[in-house]
Structure 1
Amino acid sequence: MALQLPLRSAETPARTARSVIATLLAASLVVKAAGFGWDFLGYYVASGTGHGTTAAGAALTTFGVGWCLGLAGAGALTDRLGQRTALIALMILSAVACFALALTTSLPALLAVSLLLGVTMEAHRPAVSAAINDTLHADAARTRAQGWLYFCSNVGIAICGAVGGYAAHHHGYQALFVINGIVCLAFAVVARRVLGPHRPAKAQTTVTYRQVFADAALRWMAVVAVFSMICAWGLVSVMPLLMNDDSLPATSYGVAMVCNTVGVLALTPVVMRLLVGDGDTIKFPLVPVLVTGAGILGVGITVAALQHTLAGYCLAALIIVPGEVCFSVAAGAYISTSVPTGATGRYQAVISSATALASLPPLGIALALEAGGRPLVAVILALCALTAVAACRPLGRALAAAQLHSKPTTTRELLEQP
């Protein structure tokens, strides 16, 4: 489905605007498709270096801590110094982390590198999201572009698992991490070429994270994101632990990710057209879409927790797809309609950090797997999905209250209060 990208300003040539957004989306897809450092961190620690499943869970949890810290910094850096500076600096640091991972084998060093990898691996998201909001003016156009950003991430992650599983078997994990670092450096070059220098508006007020968190709707959106994405990220964090417990090789994980990739490619354009449409206004409120997405994600990952065969894991990977798309559309709608000028980086960082928190449970899942087996893991994941669904109700109330009692510029006015 072709992207429709109306311009924020008539002074910006249509071809230039479309090419900038398309290039950034393509680069985001490629950097996620080459994101072997995260996708295979668990396998590398558990089997590649022989430290075992519990150590792998600890490394993935450490990665998640770094992810949260890094996104907060990336959001502030984007809003203060601009998208180009943020992308260049953070992609270079990400490359350094990938190269360090390729040279590391001891557990203490692996935990330290996992932290650095987490700090930088997803740090491009706030800058790309800010570029989208700065270029497009219609809510539906922004939502489509933000949705395609999530789509690129999902497809990239799926490709990474599919390709990486076979490549790791034949060439080893270290080669994958080196490729990951090279692609990060390439993204830095792309950012320097396609993005202009930062030119802050003269009247722009600096927005702090304290002011951002004064938005009640954002707080509830973050809660929904955390528990929904525990289920979604389970595809690349929990599922490898489960498949490793079943003594299935990395190639089997690659097959499951191929199934997810096919599902994402086939369903995303259809579901996005159904939920957003081609006009300038969004077709459905974001809260019902979030509820649907969280429910589907919960079903998919719970099914995965109870599987022991490759066919079962492939089925779970397919079930998760519609939930991923629904969450992506709803999150994109929130970012495109509720962010004040000059704060997109921080808003996107908060939402992305919420999803990063969802990467913390692997250690707990590994311990639950040892303590109570698959049924306990399934119950934990199902409760996460139910929590996300329940949090949608106060989110809806907060959004309705803002629309009922505020002017169209309410969020911006709120953030500019002392």
Structure 2
Amino acid sequence: MSTNQLPKAFWILFAGQLANRIGNVVVAFLVFYLAARGLDAGQTALVMAVFGGTGLISQPVGGALSDRFGARVTLVAGMLGSATCLCLFGVVTNWVWLTVTAGLLGLVGEIYRPASAALLTDIVPPAQRMRAFGLVYWAVNLGFPIAGAAGGLLASHGYGLLFVLDAGTCLVFAGIIAVGVRHDTRGSQRRIEGYGLAVRDRTVLVLVVVNAGFVAVLTQCTVGVAFAVRDAGLGVGMYGLVAIVNGLGIVVLQPLCARLLCWFEPLHVLAASGLVVGAGMAMTGLARTPTDYLGIVLLWTLGEAGAGGIVSALVADRAPAGAQGRYQALLGWGTGVGKFVATAAGAFLYSVHPGVLWIGCAVAGLLCCLACFALAKRLVSPRKELHHAVEPVGQDRRAGQPAVPGHDDARSRR
């Protein structure tokens, strides 16, 4: 499949995602901003905790709103809400109001994610979704280093510019979708219960847990790897180089991996990626020199690039009509929990002994690999299903047509 087969609406969504990611600068410099506002360590920790805590419920809220009112409307509303909260957060000075506005920002800041995924699912044909989600993953990683560089430059001239850029790109994203994408998702004609359907889907739960484990290992890039670089006496500059190599590696490797690996079963690719990421991160314990660290970073970056967008596409294939937002929100919530737990657990395990953390990464990668292979044995490949069953399914299947395994059940799609 070539990228020119993707619908025009997808490229509009892609452009909005990239613009939004480039402007996502406030969170990265939040600790420095709060210090500049005169908050002490305890007050800063409270503000960050409130921001993170409300952020964990943001995606479930966004998923429910997306399925109820439409993904396009929810995405635009989420971006407008984020821009408003960013403006409020940038002008208040009292630490109490900073805490309140941080909580509001966390609550609305992730609403757009499940809505964006649901909108992509609705405008991109099933056979092209894997590629589409991979491209969005690539755009997010492309925007990350640009945002870091832009944020550092703007912060040196005043933190207010960070809020202007962040809020401005939220408005740009909202405007691009409001004007450029006329189509919107619509809920199922039949009533679908809240998150109960998604939670009872064991395949989706396995994918959520696998993704959370995958993310937990990758989160050690900002926890365990940072400690290791520090203890090796290599300094902050070396850690910055690690982050740059990871970001650039994703930008270069992800499109190549997407083209080379598209012929393989997605769950097998995900299994191999989990193994590579786990083994690569575990090898950090063997690194001593800058060359060692850079080589190891490239190894687990390769695994990260190989997995880009796969889980989102698989979850999209499982969701019934009218529940795409909630299925994607469940996946996003699992990602948030994985990051949260991995940050605390990584620091604790490293304090016990660095080797405990690195062995834990290897074990987590192996478990993700085994879970994906086990899941692949139970399921028909989504691509094979599409190859053999392109006829309408579920309620739209004409009388007399044979049922399509894996589709004509509670997970059927209109």
Q: Give the TM-score category using the shorter length.
A: 0.7 to 0.9
Which residue does the alignment assign to 1:275? 261
Shift of the alpha carbon at 1:22?
0.7
Per-residue CA deviation, residues 361-380 of structure 1 (Å, 9 max, x unaligned), is 323434445x3354444344
How far off is 1:321 after superposition? 2.3
In structure 2, what is the equivalent of residue 322 of structure 1? 302
Distance in 1 between the 2:266 and 2:143 partners? 25
AA at the equivalent of 2:410 = L
Distance 1:181 1:67, change over 3 A: same
**Contact 1:158/1:260 (<8 A) preserved:** no
The structural deviation recorded for 1:290 is 1.4
* Superposition TM-score, scaled by structure 1 size: 0.78
Classify 1:315/1:65 alpha carbon distance in 2 versus 1 (closer, same or farther; 3 Å): farther
2:202 is the counterpart of 1:213? no
Q: 2:321 aligns with which of 323, 341, 347?
A: 341
**What is aligned with 1:280?**
none
2:133 corresponds to 1:146: yes
- TM-score, with structure 2 as normaliser: 0.78
Identical amino acids, percent of aligned pairs:
25
Partners in 2 of 1:128 and 1:372 — Cα distance? 41
Which letter does structure 2 place at the counterpart of 1:392?
C
Of stretches 386-395 and 105-114 in structure 1, the one that deviates more from structure 2 is: 105-114
2:393 corresponds to: none
SS in 1 for 2:404: coil
Give deviations 1:259-289, integer Å, cap 9, x for gaps: 223212221111101122xxxxxx2222211
Match of residue 3 from structure 2: 3
1:113-132: per-residue Cα shift (whole Å, max 9, x none)? 55444433333222222222
**Which protein, 1 or 2, shows the higher relative CO under an 8 Å CA cutoff with sep ≥ 6?**
1
Match of 1:261 in 2: 247
- The reply to whether residue 156 of structure 1 matches residue 143 of structure 2 is yes
Q: Which amino acid aligns with 1:263?
A: G
3-state SS of paired residue (2:248): helix
For 1:107 and 1:242, the matched residues in 2 are separated by: 34
- The equivalent residue for 1:86 is 74
Q: How far 1:35 sits from its partner (Å)?
A: 1.8
- 1:377-416 → structure 2 map (5 Å cutoff): 377-399=357-379, 407-408=403-404, 410-411=406-407, 413-415=409-411
1:132 aligns with 2:112: no
Distance 1:201 1:117, change over 3 A: closer
Work out whether residues 62 and 329 of structure 2, in 8 Å CA contact, stay in contact via their aligned partners in 1.
yes
Does the CA contact (< 8 Å) of 1:57 and 1:366 recur in 2?
no
2:340 maps to amino acid: L
Indicate how the Cα distance of structure 1 residues 49 and 294 shifts in structure 2: closer, same or farther if over 3 A, else same: farther
> Any residues of structure 2 matched to 1:180-329 within 5 Å, and which?
180-196=166-182, 198=184, 200=186, 203-235=189-221, 248-249=235-236, 254-276=240-262, 283-303=263-283, 314-329=294-309
> SS at the partner of 1:200?
coil
After the TM superposition, which residues 341-380 of structure 1 pair with which residues of structure 2 at under 5 Å, given as runs? 341-361=321-341, 362-369=343-350, 371-372=351-352, 374-380=354-360
* In 2: Cα distance, 1:274 partner to 1:301 partner: 23
Aligned to 1:39: 28
Shift of 1:193: 0.9
Paired residue type of 1:191: I
Matching of residues 41-56 of structure 1 within 5 Å = 41=30
Q: How much does 1:226 deviate?
A: 0.5
- In 1, Cα distance between equivalents of 2:91 and 2:285: 33
Equivalent residues of 2:72, 2:119 under 8 A apart: no
The CA distance in 2 between the partners of 1:185 and 1:349, in whole Å, is 22
Aligned partners of 2:360, 2:322: CA distance in 1, in Å? 38
> Could you tell me how far apart the structure 2 residues matched to 1:49 and 1:383 are?
43
Larger CA deviation: 198-207 vs 217-226: 198-207
Provide, for residues 91-135 of structure 1, a one-character-per-residue CA deviation record: whole Å limited to 9, x for no partner: 122224434554578877666555444433333222222222222
Greater Cα shift, 102-111 or 22-31: 102-111
The answer as to whether partners of 1:295 and 1:386 remain within 8 angstroms in 2 is yes
Give 1:63 shift.
4.6
- 1:185 maps to a residue whose letter is L
Q: List gaps (5 residues or longer) in structure 2.
A: 386-401
Q: CA deviation at 1:183?
A: 1.3
Q: Report how many residues are paired.
A: 392
The aligned amino acid for 1:95 is: A
* C-alpha displacement of 1:223: 0.5
2:392: which partner in 1?
none
* Structure 2 CA distance for aligned equivalents of residues 213 and 221 of structure 1: 11
Q: Report the equivalent of 2:14.
A: 25
8 A contact 1:212–1:415 mirrored in 2: no
SS in 2 for 1:213: helix
Residue type of the partner of 1:22? W
Please identify the structure whose Cα radius of gyration is greater: 2
Whole-Å Cα distance in 1 between the matches of residues 86 and 234 of structure 2?
27
